[in-house]
Amino acid sequence: MEGFGNAYPSYVPSELVSCSSKGRNVTYHCYLMELEQHYEYQVSVNDIVLAIRSELDSEIVDTLSGTSFDVKRGKLLVNLRHLEPIQLSPEKVQSCRRFQTTLFRILLNRDVTKLTSVSDDFSLGDNPEIDFLLLPATVKHQRPSNSIIDWKPVLSVPFSSESTCDCKDHACNVRIRNDSVCSCKLENCVVYTPHNGSIYIIYTTDGTKKLNGNSTLNQGLKGITTYKEHFKKRHGIELGFEHQSLLHGRNLFKVENYLLKTRQKTEKGKNMSSVDLPPEVCSVIMSPISIGTIYSFSFIPSIMHWLEGLLVAFNLKRMLLDHFTPNDIPISKVLQAITAKGCEEAYDYDYLETLGDSYLKYIVSQQLFKTNQNDREGALSDKRKNIISNDVLFKYGCTRPLPGFIRKDKFDPKQWDVPGDKSNSILLLKQKLDSSRTRVYVRKTREIDLGIIADVVEALIGAFISTEDEKAALSFINWIGINVDTNIMPYENERHISIIAPEELVKAKLLKSRLNYSFKDPYLLVEALTHSSGKRPEIRTCYERLEFLGDAVLDYVITMHFYKEYSNDKFSAEFFTNMRSISVNNECYALSAIKAKLDEHILCDSVVKNNIAQTMEGVKNLSLESTFGWELETYFCQVSCLIFQCITSSNPNNVYSHYWHIH
């Protein structure tokens, strides 16, 4: 059984993991992340190159492409385009890892004490670790045909003022804190200001404003002063180069979880806050790097977390394919089935779990009904509970390595594993799954609630059913450990419930006409209409067994109907659940029985008949269309709904059209 006590593994897909190449050049498969913003903002996104050691399956690429993320101002669309592989030397790999580690430490931590230095080791170790590269792409309209990656910012980390500069039209002696640089290095950069401990993105010098230390600064209610006076009074800094042009920039972009179901929108057209800084109070951290590149990288943790989820789902699908052959179930469905509500994402397993729970109840009920023909309803219900209860499904799920695939927690970008950042390095353990060819790595162990594991088992069943692949659903149920007959055969009644011909007990022809349905075995019709008080020597059984099966059949067909109608972006999972609850209940079943006039055919004693008659008098005063049967008296409601369940259970394979005909 998978797990260590109450702790269960969290899998990392092998596609994101590798180890040292022993000094040899490394081949990376490259994909261009084309970012397209569907909102107005002063900063435009730039494309980013993903370099990964394993080639992604085309289904992964196709699924990620076209994914839309809800960001503050609107929608961000992501497309993934396969590029040619590249060969990188170990030294260049280190430069790439240093670049992305530095940038993400700035964005996620905003702490200069955690920035990288020349002495930091960014080489791949001998142990498996997360390994992929995220590199800025060249600007589309300036993109050379032979290189999509913008190597200049990548190879300039850590920043050095001594790096060569080929420009001719810039001032080469701009004073910054403890150094001097060419002004071209200050046009697109990231700086740190020790006086207030802040990090800023600089995207131009003074520009058209021509501001310097002697320019006026409007402090609102505090009046008007100069930048020089402000820094002296507020920070105790005496500007020595007040004639230098100020640097114009803004605060860092906030990295957020862009996978959340609901996000607070920012007002359209709202301008970003800006800041003007004297160069001499600034220390350069990164240069050159454009504000568009930094803005684009702020979305990367959410995009990569989504990609990792797709890869986890893909590996689960591949493991299942090694044991049975489902139809081509989309990995997006598998991902939905393993995503718990605690992730607070747009798509979780809520719909699928409800559908899978209903189908499992139906198929196990059918199996028990066929194989235990002498058991009454109570015994059948007990046996079903012992097969499909949460406790049992939890054990089945743990016996198969399902817990490691489950996504149960809300994504926190600050806890994202930055590839190459050894300050937060984790030990990855390789693991072979079951008897399949699938290999994954274990990142950590975590506690998972029993109910979540049981829900995921049901959600995976629901995922197969939602794609109309009942054969795969049955194969999965058997693979989990629940033995059901995968060959759905018509029910053959081996029990002789009556010694009298059915036509002498019930009006079979009238019911055939009224229900628009022909019963192949009229004895089942007799059984379905016989109340326990109606048993007599010539009728040896009542509807209890058929009620057991009919309850499961109705639950499934109604759930499937509402899943098809309401499991989309227009309706919430709560709406789906409420619609199902309104319909899957005794009152609605009783209403259907009354509409079909089944009450006239119930075989019961005089006491029950009198109760039915009294109830029907009350029914005459109700508007059945408006009340949905909720005001019906409890006793008749129970009797008639049981009859309705029994009628529908007579042939569960054709019940869907039959139910909607009389409902």
The residues carrying an active-site annotation are 551, 625
For residues 50 and 15, the answer to whether their CB atoms sit within 8 Å is: no
3-class secondary structure per residue, 530-546: ECHHHCECCECCCCHHH
Going through 252-320 in order, the beta strands assigned E by DSSP cover 275-277, 283-286
For residues 331 and 319, the answer to whether their CB atoms sit within 8 Å is: no
Q: Is 358 helix (H, G, I), strand (E, B) or coil?
A: helix
DSSP at 242: T
CA–chain centroid gap for 118, Å, is: 39
Q: Which helix (H) or strand (E) holds 97?
A: helix 90-109
Name the residue among 123, 80, 122 with its Cα closest to residue 104. 122
Name the residue among 636, 591, 601, 612 with its Cα closest to residue 526. 601
Name the residue among 284, 98, 274 with its Cα closest to residue 184. 284
Angle between helices 377-388 and 350-371 (to 10 degrees): 130
Q: Is 132 helix (H, G, I), strand (E, B) or coil?
A: strand
DSSP 526-588: HHHHB-GGG-BTTB---THHHHHHHHHHHHHHHHHHHHHHH-STTS-HHHHHHHHHHHSSHHH
DSSP at 604: -
**Cβ-based neighbours of 626, under 8 Å, separated by 6 or more:** none
**Cβ-based neighbours of 657, under 8 Å, separated by 6 or more:** none
φ, ψ (nearest 5 deg) of residue 552: -70, -40
φ, ψ (nearest 5 deg) of residue 537: -50, -35
Residue type, 645: Q
For residues 177 and 164, the answer to whether their CB atoms sit within 8 Å is: no
Tokens coding 165 = 């500069």
Q: Is 445 helix (H, G, I), strand (E, B) or coil?
A: strand
- How long a stretch of residues is the chain? 663
According to DSSP, the residues that pair with 149 across neighbouring strands are 137
Tokens coding 308 = 């990792």
Q: Which helix (H) or strand (E) holds 471?
A: helix 470-480
Q: Which helix (H) or strand (E) holds 609?
A: helix 606-619
Q: Is 15 helix (H, G, I), strand (E, B) or coil?
A: helix
Give me the sign of the Cα torsion angle 394, 400, 402, 403.
positive
Burial class (CB in 10 A: 0-12, 13-18, 19+), 196: exposed
For residues 384 and 357, the answer to whether their CB atoms sit within 8 Å is: no
Q: What angle do CA 243, 245, 246 make, to 5 degrees?
A: 115
Strands 189-193 and 283-286: antiparallel
- How many Cβ atoms are within 10 Å of 511's Cβ, its own excluded? 22
For residues 461 and 473, the answer to whether their CB atoms sit within 8 Å is: yes
Tokens coding 51 = 């370099």
Q: Which helix (H) or strand (E) holds 8?
A: strand 7-13
For residues 346 and 259, the answer to whether their CB atoms sit within 8 Å is: yes
Tokens coding 233 = 């009074």
